[in-house]
Amino acid sequence: MCGAERVEVEVHQVRGLASLDLGTDAGKAMARMRRKTLVMCGPCHGLIDAGPVRVTSPPLESRTR
């Protein structure tokens, strides 16, 4: 995915093609190749497994008036 060469690789695997997230580069690549597995470097695999970033901080404005 990132173009890294000569690094240790990891395999990302999904249960089925229907469960792919087509909003990611990995999901698009897997759908295009019709494959449930994709070999990539460790850092890229970690980003995919981490999932989307969710903001959990409280709102900036106070609700009390």
Domain assignment present for residue 27? The answer is yes
Over its length of 65 residues, how does the chain's per-residue pLDDT go in tens digits?
788 888 899 998 888 888 888 888 888 889 999 999 989 898 888 888 777 655 555 566 666 66
Domain assignment present for residue 14? The answer is yes
The confidence score (pLDDT) of residue 19 equals 84
Residue that the structure tokens 């995919």 belong to = 48
Interatomic CA distance for residues 36 and 65, integer angstroms: 53
The confidence score (pLDDT) of residue 24 equals 82
Fill in the amino acid letter for 31.
A
Domain assignment present for residue 55? The answer is no
> Domain containing 37: what range?
9-50
Structural domain total, the chain: 1
In what helix (H) or strand (E) does residue 50 lie, and over which residues does it extend?
helix 42-50
Q: Is the pTM of this model over 0.75?
A: no
Domain assignment present for residue 62? The answer is no
**10 φ, ψ (degrees, to nearest 5):** -130, 160
Interatomic CA distance for residues 18 and 16, integer angstroms: 5
| β-pair type (9-13, 37-41) | antiparallel
Domain assignment present for residue 2? The answer is no
Domain assignment present for residue 58? The answer is no
